[in-house]
Chains A and B, each alone.
Chain A
Amino acid sequence: MSWSLEQQERLNREWSIVLQYFPGFELKTSGSLIYAEGAVRSNSKTLYLLRLYVPTDMPNSVPDVVIIYPNPLTDFIGNSLTSYNYSGTMHLLTARDGYPRICTYKSTFWNPNRTFYNVLMKARIWLEALEGHKATGKPLDYYLKHQA
């Protein structure tokens, strides 16, 4: 696909913000797909790799975010998070490319003023809640608010 000049400028702005808060992230392409990947560490210093898919209609859609490492990413009893398929209590959507996909923004809550930074920060907070789940067995919505 081809990107409009406005989209290219938006992507440049998005990327400068991402690097400000998540240094080490890289922008990658695969065919027509553009995605960002990078490492984040939880407060316990556990390493995770995130992938954010740049929507083709950016900035009008919620970017998908998946956790690509550890793989498989498991819950407190060792089941893969992808086995949840779709879970409100775990804030998970159906997997993408075999990786667990995080519920970030409901599409009706999305607007073009929101940024990749917002989405990645939600993923960072989600990871902290996941570690709470793995330590206690409590679902992620014990730690994270639901959108109304």
Chain B
Amino acid sequence: MAIEKDSKAVREELAKKNTNQSAKKLTFDPATGELVIKSEDETAQKPGEVVVDQIYKDGFFLRL
């Protein structure tokens, strides 16, 4: 599936991204407030939709 926004599927994709096992794109749809996973080659975007991969990749403070 090119587009996935089921909450469990999105979380599983976040876990894969955390271990660099996913090249899929994490996007945010401001119209619905949903995080959406898209395949790398998926180019269709809803108006206002934004790729937030870099914000995810920036990482979260902190490691003790």
Contacts and interface: CB of A to CB of B under 8 A. Distances in A.
Given A23-B30, A125-B52, A144-B14, A43 B6 contact: yes
Contact of A109 (B11, B15, B55, B61): B61
A106 B59 CA distance: 9
Nearest to A107: B61
B59 A131 contact: no
Contacts of A142: 15, 18
Main secondary structure of the interface of B (DSSP, over half): mixed
Interface residues of A, number: 40
B46 interface: no
Interface string B14-26: 1101100000001
| Chain B interface size, under 10 / 10 to 19 / 20 to 34 / 35 or more | 20 to 34
Interface string A26-43: 000000000000001111
Contacts of B41: none
A105 interface: yes
B50 interface: yes
- Top 9 nearest A-B pairs (CB, nearest first) are A88-B64, A147-B59, A132-B11, A43-B7, A106-B61, A145-B59, A103-B61, A44-B7, A143-B14
Interface of B: 5-8, 10-11, 14-15, 17-18, 26, 28, 30, 33-35, 48, 50, 52, 55-64
Interface of A: 20-23, 40-44, 86-88, 91, 93, 102-106, 109, 118, 121-122, 124-126, 128-129, 131-132, 135, 140-148
